[in-house]
Amino acid sequence: MTVTIVGSQLGDEGKGGIVDVYGDIADVVVRYQGGDNAGHTVVHEGDEYKLSLVPSGAVRGKIGVLGNGCVVNPRTLFEEIDTLRDRGLDPDVRVAERAHAILPYHRVIDTLEEDVKSDDDLAAGTTGRGIGPTYEDKAGRRGVRIGDLLDPETLRSRLEYVVPQKRALLEEVYDISIEDHEDIDADAFDIEALFEQYRDFGDRLANEGMTVNCGEFLADRLDSGEELMFEGAQGTSIDIDHGVYPYVTSSNPTAGGATVGTGLGPTVIGDGEVVGIVKAYLSRVGTGPLPTELGSVDGQTPDDGGRPSEADLAEYIRDEGGEYGTVTGRPRRVGWLDIPMLRHAARANGFTGLAINHIDVLAGLDEVKVGHSYTLDGEEVFTMPPTTEKWGDCEANLRSFEGWEDVDWNAVAEEGYEAIPENAREYLDYIAEELDTPVYAVGVGPGREQTIVVEDLT
Ligand code: IMP
């Protein structure tokens, strides 16, 4: 059996916690897209672990796999593994040989391009981890794959082809003198330095037996009766195809990505559960429109966006929810739940169940609103339009719910679903009904024991 966990909004829905809860039934936890742009916080036996690349299941003694759809920065990978080891864990992480490697020049180019785009309000507000430039090289057939790191001759020939192009890009397009630039490490554009660094990474991957032929490895595990969990990073609305292009990441967090990004067929993923993770309100790191946004965040909210008069409410939710980027520390934009966004996600992913997080964060408000539909060009619409510009033209039609009181959420978690305050249950019922998908779990706090499991998936 497989369980695929997908973010249904803009990332940061609390997927790590749900992966952690449902990960119990899994033997292997697999990431199928993205790289060290993801920020997972996992609380295990009272200790908090912040991971950006290693699958969160690895904290709990599962095999963690980075599938072929991932872009892997080996430096981050080893740093995270070493940190976990220093803290007494023994993570078992495997990396697909077909996954692409992030090289130092990808990070440099990511930052440079964002700077240029910001002049035209087109910057996506990337995490600066080189994600987009690495996927560009993958699609442009000039990437370096993890398997290449194990074969020095191939590694060298790949670098000899691609590095001069990157140098030319900096020198001739950006008009930068690499050797003289104070913020750029010249080694990032030096074939020999890169070769040595990445050959060493390859040696370590080989010595620790970490690389796999991903699809085959996973199929063998399934055949032997093991359970697999696919851990999507980011979220549906920042999917390169289904998200708010161009303010998106460069991969497919949607459930279809789990097949392409692992080497298992769509029937394998479709035979299992696909759980959509929903945060009970909205948060966003980065730029672009956000029709239900409350308040505004400088440098991220478009000039005509947000609801400046609701700045206090925005700040309250941001602070209660700890809405600051796990990777970057940036304050996140916050807004009311956007139901058209969720309808879009439910269709694009084919959710079999929902996990709704953070209902505790909204506790204590007199009134909780949702964007039930949009008005676009004078018409009421119920799902997201295909262009981001049109989405920016959408006005959210808000629906109001009576708020729920702040309670002892630990006690609620212990007692189960029926102990959730009635108004909050009405809110959950509404979401399930609108998406025609049952609620499998409800998060009432960050810890694993603060997730109420309605459907245990065993
Ligand atoms: P990139 O993935 O670093 O290229 O960033 C592209 C867009 O995706 C930016 O708007 C980022 O803020 C957003 N993004 C990337 N990873 C995450 C995440 O894990 N959570 C939320 N947003 C993310």
456 an active-site residue? no
pLDDT of residue 363: 97
Residue 23 is part of a domain; what is its CATH number? 3.40.440.10
Tell me how far the alpha carbon of residue 251 lies from the centroid of ligand 1, in angstroms: 10
Distance separating alpha carbons of residues 97 and 147, to the nearest angstrom: 4
Q: What angle do CA 21, 25, 30 make, to 5 degrees?
A: 80
Counting from 1 in the atom list of ligand 1, the atom nearest the Cα of 129 is 3
339 and 426 housed in the same domain: yes
On the 0-12 / 13-18 / 19+ scale of CB atoms within 10 A, 101 is buried
Residue 122 is part of a domain; what is its CATH number? 1.10.300.10
304 and 335 housed in the same domain: yes
225 and 189 housed in the same domain: no
Residues of the chain with pLDDT under 50: none
pTM (two decimals): 0.95
pLDDT of residue 327: 66
Q: Which of 188, 205, 222 represents a domain boundary (last residue)?
A: 205
Contact 310, 255 (CB under 8 A): no
Contact 368, 359 (CB under 8 A): no
3-state SS of 12-74 is CCCHHHHHHHHHHHCCEEEECCECCCCCEEEEECCEEEEECCCCHHHHHCCEEEECCCEEECH
321 and 218 housed in the same domain: no
Q: Go through 309-337 and write b for each residue having 16 or more CB atoms within 10 A of its CB, e for each that does not.
A: ebeebbebbbebbebebbbbebbbbbbbb
- Among 37, 72, 100, name the best residue to mutate to test ligand 1's pocket (greatest count of ligand atoms within 8 A of Cβ): 37
Q: Which of 205, 232, 262 represents a domain boundary (last residue)?
A: 205
270 and 288 housed in the same domain: no
Residue 192 neighbours by CB distance under 10 Å:
11
Distance separating alpha carbons of residues 126 and 123, to the nearest angstrom: 8
pLDDT of residue 80: 97
Each residue's pLDDT tens digit, 265-291: 999 999 999 999 999 999 998 888 999
pLDDT of residue 118: 78
Does residue 63 belong to any structural domain of this protein? yes
Give 298's Cβ-side CA count (13 Å radius): 0
235 and 153 housed in the same domain: no
Does the C-beta of 251 come closer than 6 Å to ligand 1?
Answer: no
Residue length, the chain? 458
Q: Distance between alpha carbon 303 and the CA centroid of its chain, in Å?
A: 26
Q: Peptide bond before 289: cis, by omega within 30 degrees of 0?
A: no
387 and 405 housed in the same domain: yes
Distance separating alpha carbons of residues 307 and 294, to the nearest angstrom: 5
Does residue 121 belong to any structural domain of this protein? yes
Contact 6, 232 (CB under 8 A): yes
Backbone angles phi, psi at 93, to 5 degrees: -115, 130
pLDDT of residue 116: 86
Residue whose pair of structure tokens reads 């699609």 in the numeric block: 139
Q: Of the residues 12, 110, 137, 190, which is catalytic?
A: 12
Q: Distance between alpha carbon 15 and the CA centroid of its chain, in Å?
A: 8
78 and 221 housed in the same domain: yes
286 and 416 housed in the same domain: yes
Does residue 458 belong to any structural domain of this protein? no
- Among 110, 234, 237, 283, name the best residue to mutate to test ligand 1's pocket (greatest count of ligand atoms within 8 A of Cβ): 234
Q: How far is CA 157 from CA 64, 149, 151, 275, in A?
A: 30, 11, 10, 42
Q: Which of 205, 230, 246 represents a domain boundary (last residue)?
A: 205
Each residue's pLDDT tens digit, 397-435: 999 999 999 999 999 999 999 999 999 999 999 999 999
Counting from 1 in the atom list of ligand 1, the atom nearest the Cα of 288 is 10
Does residue 57 belong to any structural domain of this protein? yes
pLDDT of residue 326: 67
12 an active-site residue? yes
User: What range does the domain containing 241 cover?
Assistant: 2-96+211-275
9 and 85 housed in the same domain: yes
Total domains in the chain come to 3
Does residue 266 belong to any structural domain of this protein? yes
73 and 105 housed in the same domain: no
